[in-house]
Amino acid sequence: MSDMGYTPHEPEQNSFPAPGQALQPAVQFPDDSLELFQTWSQIEIAPPTRIPHFGHLCLLAAFALVGFVCATLAMMGAVHFHLFGATSMAKAATDVHYILGSETIIYLITLAGSLLLFPLLWNESFFAGIQWRGAAARDWRLPAIAVGCFVLAALDEAFLPGPNHAPIEDVFRSPGAAWLMFAFGVTFAPFFEEIAFRGFLLPALATAWDWAIEKSTGKAARPLDANGHPQWSIFAMVAASIATSLPFALMHADQQGHSLGPFLLLVTVSLILCAVRLVTRSLAASTLVHACYNFMIFFLMLVSTGGFQHLDKI
């Protein structure tokens, strides 16, 4: 072959690894450059979205504010035409038709806005987002919890009675007004109050607590549960329950003449409702307990007044 002018090529040394020796790359990068390239190629993982959070609570408050404005305008129009005999806003403020009518307007406008907007933000239905979970309300223990709340109310009345004449009693002027309050108190009132306080406020405060701890300590956010809902720490749930129960009691304080006994009772009942909501992961469960408790309170009034015929006995 040398006669043909061909010169065999000498292989480079170490071009092939010896038996058992790993193949080395032709070009090696420093360790820091590899980390740089990996950083560019990695996809940043956003923390899970926990709903409802504080921003959603603010949106709910905005809907309620719109409802309040509409209810006020409706009341002014009704007073102008002297509906139900009201000739001034002061008289309308103690008339059961105006009270319940304005609350219904606020509730319905708030609910309508929520049903339209929040499913777009959450990518799931409104009631799924607030963890309604109606099936969980079939637990027989829930009415028993309501009975326990009723017993607490009886003890509170015995040891820390309210004023002799509470402002709420001015609304019970006739059997018709009492029946309206009864119907509203066991249907619309517990439903919408639970949505506002245990459906939005409680989760928003619990999420805010955990978020603040995560930011201050550098801890990772807790993963969502199997249904995509947040899992809060024990401290977050306790703090949020207390912070939720205070405004809940204050909302009813004016009706009870700002008396200490009824205020403490409402705080305690609210804490129980928060516990039901958190343990069962069901807003329907706390709504059922709330409605049953209100029913027993009104039923006792019904019996003690002879079917609302002797309202002076309230």
pLDDT of 32 strictly over 90:
no
Work out the pLDDT band at 3, boundaries 50, 70, 90: very low
Q: What pLDDT does residue 30 have?
A: 53
Q: Is 124 part of any domain? A: yes
Q: What pLDDT does residue 20 have?
A: 54
Domain boundary residue, one of 101, 129, 157: 129
Same domain flag for 222 and 276: yes
- Cα–Cα distance between 35 and 257 in angstroms, integer? 67
Phi-psi sector, 6: left (phi>0), alpha (psi -120 to 50), beta: beta
Same domain flag for 297 and 157: yes
Mean pLDDT of 207-226: 94
Q: What pLDDT does residue 284 have?
A: 98
Same domain flag for 213 and 186: yes
Same domain flag for 233 and 156: yes
Which residues make Cβ contacts (< 8 Å) with residue 271, sequence separation at least 6? 241, 242, 245
Q: What pLDDT does residue 7 have?
A: 47
Return the amino acid letter for 31: D
Which residues make Cβ contacts (< 8 Å) with residue 304, sequence separation at least 6? 313, 314
Domain boundary residue, one of 80, 98, 129: 129
Question: Tens digits of per-residue pLDDT, 248-293?
Answer: 999 998 888 789 999 999 999 999 999 999 999 999 999 999 999 9
**Alpha-carbon distances of 180 from 93, 174, 186, 191, 304, rounded to whole Å:** 16, 10, 10, 16, 17
**Total structural domains within the chain:** 2
Question: Tens digits of per-residue pLDDT, 231-256?
Answer: 999 999 999 999 999 999 999 988 88
Task: Give Cα 218 to chain centroid, integer Å.
Answer: 26
Range of the domain at 72: 51-129
- Cα–Cα distance between 220 and 218 in angstroms, integer? 7
**DSSP assignment string, 210-235:** HHHHHHHH-PPPPPP-TTS-----HH
Work out the pLDDT band at 313, boundaries 50, 70, 90: confident
Question: Tens digits of per-residue pLDDT, 221-234?
Answer: 999 998 889 999 99
Same domain flag for 173 and 120: no
pLDDT of 39 strictly over 50:
no
Mean pLDDT of 155-175: 86
pLDDT of 37 strictly over 50:
no
Domain boundary residue, one of 95, 129, 163: 129
Q: Is 288 part of any domain? A: yes
- State yes or no: cis peptide before 52, omega within 30 of 0: yes
pLDDT of 80 strictly over 90:
yes
Q: What pLDDT does residue 101 have?
A: 96
Same domain flag for 141 and 91: no
Three-state secondary-structure class, residue 37: helix
Residue whose C-alpha is closest to residue 51's, from 116, 128, 109, 103 = 128
Work out the pLDDT band at 24, boundaries 50, 70, 90: low
Q: What pLDDT does residue 310 have?
A: 85
Work out the pLDDT band at 17, boundaries 50, 70, 90: low
Same domain flag for 220 and 278: yes
Same domain flag for 230 and 113: no
Q: What pLDDT does residue 166 have?
A: 80
Same domain flag for 262 and 202: yes
pTM: 0.84
Instruction: List the Cα angle 151/154/155 in 5-degree steps.
Output: 90
Structure tokens at 252: 């009813």
Same domain flag for 124 and 232: no
Q: What are phi and psi of 20, to 5 degrees?
A: 85, -5
Q: What pLDDT does residue 2 have?
A: 44
Which residues make Cβ contacts (< 8 Å) with residue 131, sequence separation at least 6? 199, 227, 229, 281, 282, 283
Work out the pLDDT band at 46, boundaries 50, 70, 90: low
pLDDT of 218 strictly over 90:
yes
Average pLDDT, the chain: 88
- Cα–Cα distance between 82 and 100 in angstroms, integer? 17
Work out the pLDDT band at 151, boundaries 50, 70, 90: very high
Work out the pLDDT band at 5, boundaries 50, 70, 90: very low
pLDDT of 21 strictly over 70:
no
Same domain flag for 190 and 125: no
Same domain flag for 75 and 175: no
Percent of the chain with pLDDT over 70: 85
Q: What pLDDT does residue 49 have?
A: 87
